[in-house]
Structure 1
């Protein structure tokens, strides 16, 4: 793997703001021609720096109004128990993020559903049915103060996901 330079970081910054930027637009922003920009992007894709391109949808416009962070403890902690739990919850579309964490709980889940009734249904009929599930503490989001998917690279991406 080649190490990234400041130009690569600027390209990544731009793509994090808008993955639909064309090669020509990125090249223009960087004062370069299109060919070396294309080659850098292709290399970063091949090396795994760029995992994929996605569209960020407006969850509220799609009627997903309930966001819950679930702190989960398991009954057991051996490798097989953890692996089984991770495989099981990976199949739950309501869970959009899952982190194995240190501390009082074992996992932190981010769950997004349309309503409290849907969350209750998910908890009672899906999550609570997992054999190794110990304890769950749910924290309901009242308002989203900051949401960003962009990483701050090379000091150019601000907290609003904009290039500075």
Structure 2
């Protein structure tokens, strides 16, 4: 595991807020040379600390009029069933994110659909027709905002 210092953390904090920030600005805001910033960001990608860069897209611009969180409980648990269901979720274009969780439910699935009819048809097809699914519960999302902040550095050990 890569050990991050305060400069790495400052770079990550800036990139989290704006991944398109030019290297010159990144270096200036952190107070390091441009070559140092470039090398540090390269190393963060190489060490798999930075996993990618993503565009935040307005849901309405791509036809998403309704978002929901679907809780899914599986009937049986095995590595093959869990992995297979996870792969099924990631293959569905309506699935915006999925979380394999502990607790009463096994998955929380964030979906984006056109409208309530689309949501109904999608949940019936994507979940209830699968024999490994025992129960689903759907909650509408009224508002979604991503937090661009990171936890404070350094994160103290919990022991």
| Structure 1 stretches of at least 4 aligned residues deviating more than 3 Å after TM superposition | none
Whether 2:144 is the aligned partner of 1:133: answer no
Structure 2: tracts of 5 or more residues without a match: 155-159
* Structure 2 counterpart SS, 1:139: strand
Do 1:68 and 1:111's aligned partners in 2 also have CA atoms closer than 8 Å?
yes
- What residue in structure 1 maps to residue 151 of structure 2? 152
- What residue in structure 1 maps to residue 105 of structure 2? 105
Return the alpha-carbon distance in structure 1 between the equivalents of residues 44 and 142 of structure 2: 38
Structure 1: tracts of 5 or more residues without a match: 156-164
Q: Per-residue deviation at 1:2?
A: 4.3
Gap change, CA 1:35 and 1:83, over 3 Å in 2:
same
- What residue in structure 1 maps to residue 124 of structure 2? 124
CA shift digits 1:133-157 (9 cap, x unpaired):
111010111234x4325433538xx
Do 1:9 and 1:153's aligned partners in 2 also have CA atoms closer than 8 Å?
no
The higher relative CO (CA closer than 8 Å, separation ≥ 6) is in 1
Whether 2:43 is the aligned partner of 1:43: answer yes
Gap change, CA 1:143 and 1:42, over 3 Å in 2:
closer
Q: Per-residue deviation at 1:73?
A: 0.8
- What residue in structure 1 maps to residue 157 of structure 2? none
Gap change, CA 1:78 and 1:99, over 3 Å in 2:
same
Return the alpha-carbon distance in structure 2 between the equivalents of residues 106 and 137 of structure 1: 12
Gap change, CA 1:153 and 1:19, over 3 Å in 2:
farther
Q: 5 Å matches for 1:54-65?
A: 54-65=54-65
Single out whichever of 80-89 and 35-44 deviates more from structure 2.
Answer: 80-89
RMSD over equivalenced CA pairs, Å: 1.7
Return the alpha-carbon distance in structure 1 between the equivalents of residues 25 and 67 of structure 2: 36
Do 1:13 and 1:153's aligned partners in 2 also have CA atoms closer than 8 Å?
no
* Structure 2 counterpart SS, 1:110: strand
| Paired residue total | 154
